[in-house]
């Protein structure tokens, strides 16, 4: 019996330790990122992400199986910025295959966001959840918007 | 240092789960005994005292609904082909509780799986097929099923055609609404709801077909019940002789109406509802939703609602309401004698787990139970089988190891549960106290 009690207390201690370590490991976020990125844009992008994107793409950017695409390790996010900006402006419909998985859910157009807001949120997404890519600027969004119907 | 803390974390998680099992007084932990599972899978379900479980099969991928034959074979429908096959028959030839023969057939993906009167019924996302079974409950012509229903709408949202059958030769098929709340622009902030909702003529309800007639479509079927956004879990209750369905409630109240719903309220609302249907039933989608906190049918905000205004006088009330977004994908009324008295005639519900509760913690990833007496719920719901996710943290993050989807009852009264994340099938049984 005493053995079980000591195992329990040891287990409880290790639980607390693991929670501590997990909470630590979640922190790096913005601070650890590329110094060349516009820090203010990242901060605003984080807020924008929580408002506009998080409920579908989730806290960790991992999306939802069969429904909402992940924003990690995908050319949709890390590749051509023009296409990425267009997804935000026009939304997405229909089945989309990403890394062998099919995603179904509709993404609403977000053309009501300003060039700055779109630049912020995309810069944030391209540099979060393990992603590392160059910033998106409001000027780039503006030029894509001009030719996107 | 980083590496060291990673290993320490792994060790801590391992010890963590051990300490949970060591002190969980009324919960049986199973699944990691020798001879059960492959040995690689150390995850275990949490069950009420007296219950046990074995892993009957695993590695099937997206295992959706399943059905058990009178001799204990399991047929399971896959949403992603495994070795180019979409249905598997699982047979335990040596009686060790684990399937050792797996036979695949059918080159289509889908959800529905049911056995009735010597036939196996299976659905793709547009059709329903049936296969004649022989005396050993094996499919006789795996490459030549009869096409019972065809041409059902599949528009990329709520496409699963879940099925069940009654005892009068009828087949019931869910045709989910290809929309969240029937807005002009689906899931777009500011886009108004369409009234009347044009989706409802061909989706957003349960259609009834004859179980033995070939090539039926909308023209031959009957819209049995409407105003149902999407149903994956459904079952014919033989005690009441009526159809019961679990509806997936609408998403994104906060995203679309942040002024009316904060993220906490949006995580709870609306309820995931259990409805008892009759021919002509209307459950109110998209115009209303059921608020399980106010116990009222509330006018949907796309149609002028403010979170308080009631509506839907023509829509029926649910017979039971669960918390929001936990995604009921399986429903089964227990008709066996193996489980204790409390469970007889009651409803088991497989909750696939939420995504629409973010940024609040996700929930679900369990099999719930609601007791029934005389055809009505007779008590509060409880979690029957838990820890499909793998840990409370994995459930909260939504990154679950397993996601309960289908439920089926074996000839001995055991309960089978399928998982469409990894394709594990558990057999849950009562061992006695």
Residue B220 placed within a domain: no
State residue B31's pLDDT score.
Answer: 33
Residue A30 placed within a domain: no
Residue B307 placed within a domain: no
Task: Report the residue from A12, A21, A109 with minimal CB separation from B9.
Answer: A21
Q: Helix or strand or coil: residue A9? A: helix
Taking CB atoms and an 8 Å limit, are B18 and A7 in contact across chains? yes
Whether the CB-CB separation of B117 and B99 falls below 8 Å is answered with no
Task: Report the residue from B15, B22, B156 with minimal CB separation from A14.
Answer: B15
- For B25-32, the CB contacts below 8 A with 24+ separation are B28/B52, B30/B54, B31/B55, B31/B426
A84: which 2 tokens?
A: 């990425």
State residue A68's pLDDT score.
Answer: 94
What does the pLDDT profile of chain A (149 residues) look like in tens digits?
Answer: 455 555 555 555 555 555 554 444 444 444 445 667 889 999 999 999 999 999 999 999 999 988 999 999 899 999 999 999 999 999 998 888 888 888 988 999 999 999 999 999 999 999 999 999 999 999 999 999 999 87
Residues of chain A positioned with their CB less than 8 A from the CB of B12: 14-15, 17-18, 21
A-interface mutation test, from B358, B388, B393, B402, most A Cβ less than 10 A away: B358
Whether the CB-CB separation of B357 and A19 falls below 8 Å is answered with no
Environment class of residue B271 by beta-carbon count within 10 Å: exposed (0-12), middle (13-18) or buried (19+)? Answer: buried
Residue A12 placed within a domain: no
State residue A5's pLDDT score.
Answer: 54
Whether the CB-CB separation of B205 and B227 falls below 8 Å is answered with yes
Q: Where are the beta strands (DSSP E) in chain A?
A: 96-98, 101-103
Residues of chain B positioned with their CB less than 8 A from the CB of A24: 5
CA B415 vs. chain centroid, Å, equals 14
User: What residues of chain A, 78 to 137, have a C-beta less than 8 Å from chain B?
Assistant: 91, 93-95, 104-109, 112
Task: Please provide residue B52's backbone torsions phi and psi, each rounded to the nearest 5 degrees.
Answer: -135, 170
B337: which 2 tokens?
A: 């004698």
Residue B116 placed within a domain: no
Q: Which residues of chain B have pLDDT under 50?
A: 1-42
Sign for the pseudo-dihedral over CA of B406, B409, B410, B413? positive
Residue A90 placed within a domain: yes
Asked if the interface predicted TM-score (ipTM) of this complex is over 0.85, the answer is no
Taking CB atoms and an 8 Å limit, are B359 and A105 in contact across chains? no
Residue B273 placed within a domain: no
Q: In 3D, which of B50, B48, B52 has the Cα closest to residue B27? A: B48
Look-up: residue for tokens 């009852």? B409
Residue B348 placed within a domain: yes
Cα(A51)–Cα(B189) distance, rounded to whole angstroms?
12
Residues of chain A positioned with their CB less than 8 A from the CB of B157: 104-106
Residue B96 placed within a domain: yes
State residue A9's pLDDT score.
Answer: 56
Task: Report the residue from B5, B190, B358 with minimal CB separation from A55.
Answer: B358
Residue B45 placed within a domain: yes
- Domain extent for A82: 36-147
Distances (CA, A) of B45 to A33, B215, B253, B390: 40, 42, 33, 9
DSSP 8-state assignment for residue B361: P
Number of separate domains in chain B: 1
State residue B11's pLDDT score.
Answer: 42
Q: Helix or strand or coil: residue A92? A: strand
State residue B44's pLDDT score.
Answer: 87
Number of separate domains in chain A: 1
Residue B19 placed within a domain: no
Residues of chain A positioned with their CB less than 8 A from the CB of B8: 17, 21
Whether the ω angle into residue A15 lies within 30 degrees of 0, i.e. cis, is no
Beta bridge partners of B429: B52
Helices (H), B162-306: 253-256, 263-268
- In Å, how far is A8's CA from the nearest CA of chain B? 5
The reply to whether A12 touches chain B by the CB within 8 Å rule is yes
Kind and range of the H or E run holding B6? helix B2-23
**Does the pTM of the predicted model rise above 0.80?**
yes
Q: Helix or strand or coil: residue A10? A: helix
Cα(B249)–Cα(B323) distance, rounded to whole angstroms?
10
What CATH number has the domain bearing residue A139?
1.10.760.10
DSSP 8-state assignment for residue A28: -
- Domain extent for B421: 31-103+325-433
B-interface mutation test, from A13, A55, A57, A112, most B Cβ less than 10 A away: A55
Residues of chain B positioned with their CB less than 8 A from the CB of A62: 398-399
The reply to whether A72 touches chain B by the CB within 8 Å rule is no
For residue B315, how many other CB atoms are within 10 A of its CB?
19
């Amino acid at each position: 019996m005493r053995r079980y009690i000591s195992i329990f207390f040891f287990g409880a201690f290790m639980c607390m330790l693991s929670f501590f370590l997990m909470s630590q490991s979640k922190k790096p976020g913005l601070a650890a990122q590329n110094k060349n990125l516009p820090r203010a844009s990242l901060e605003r992008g984080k807020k924008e992400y929580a408002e506009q994107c998080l409920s579908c793409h989730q806290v960790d950017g991992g999306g939802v199986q069969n429904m909402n695409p992940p924003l990690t390790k995908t050319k949709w996010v890390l590749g051509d910025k023009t296409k990425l900006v267009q997804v935000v402006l026009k939304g997405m419909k229909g089945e989309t295959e990403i890394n062998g998985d099919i995603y179904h859910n509709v993404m609403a157009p977000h053309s009501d966001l300003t060039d700055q807001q779109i630049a912020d949120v995309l810069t944030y997404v391209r540099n979060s959840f393990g992603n590392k890519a160059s910033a998106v600027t409001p000027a780039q969004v503006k030029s894509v918007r001009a030719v996107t119907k | 240092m980083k590496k060291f803390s990673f290993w320490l974390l792994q060790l801590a998680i391992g010890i963590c789960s051990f300490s949970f099992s060591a002190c969980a007084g009324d919960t049986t932990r199973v699944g990691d005994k020798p001879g059960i599972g492959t040995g690689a899978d150390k995850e275990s379900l949490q069950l009420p005292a007296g219950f046990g479980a074995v892993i009957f099969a695993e590695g099937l991928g997206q295992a959706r609904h399943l059905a058990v034959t009178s001799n204990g074979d399991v047929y399971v429908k896959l949403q992603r082909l495994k070795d180019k096959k979409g249905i598997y028959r699982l047979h335990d030839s040596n009686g060790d509780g684990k399937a050792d023969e797996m036979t695949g057939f059918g080159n289509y993906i889908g959800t529905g799986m049911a056995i009735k009167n010597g036939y196996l019924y299976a659905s793709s996302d547009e059709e329903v097929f049936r296969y004649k079974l022989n005396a050993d409950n094996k499919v006789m012509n795996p490459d030549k099923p009869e096409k019972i229903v065809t041409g059902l709408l599949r528009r990329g949202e709520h496409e699963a055609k879940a099925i069940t059958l009654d005892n009068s030769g009828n087949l019931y098929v869910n045709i989910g609404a290809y929309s969240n709340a029937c807005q002009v622009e689906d899931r777009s902030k500011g886009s108004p709801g369409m009234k009347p909702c044009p989706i409802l003529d061909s989706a957003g309800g349960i259609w009834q077909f004859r179980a033995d007639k070939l090539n039926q479509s909308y023209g031959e079927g009957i819209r049995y019940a409407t105003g149902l956004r999407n149903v994956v879990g459904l079952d014919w209750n033989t005690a009441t002789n009526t159809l019961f369905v679990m509806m997936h409630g609408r998403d994104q109240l906060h995203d679309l109406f942040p002024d009316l719903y904060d993220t906490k309220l949006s995580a709870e609302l609306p309820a995931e509802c259990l409805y008892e249907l009759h021919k002509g039933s209307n459950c109110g989608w998209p115009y209303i939703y059921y608020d399980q906190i106010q116990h009222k049918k509330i006018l949907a905000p796309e149609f002028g609602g403010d979170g308080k205004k009631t509506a839907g006088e023509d829509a029926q009330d649910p017979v039971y309401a669960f918390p929001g977004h936990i995604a009921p994908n399986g429903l089964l009324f227990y008709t066996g004698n193996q489980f204790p008295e409390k469970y007889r005639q009651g409803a088991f519900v497989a909750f696939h787990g939420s995504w629409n509760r973010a940024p609040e913690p996700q929930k679900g990833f369990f099999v719930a139970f609601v007791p029934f007496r005389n055809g009505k719920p007779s008590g509060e719901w409880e979690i029957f089988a838990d820890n499909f996710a793998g840990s409370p943290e994995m459930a909260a993050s939504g990154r679950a190891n397993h996601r309960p989807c289908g439920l089926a009852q074996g000839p001995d009264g055991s309960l089978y549960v399928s998982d469409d994340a990894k394709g594990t099938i558990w057999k849950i049984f009562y061992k006695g106290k």
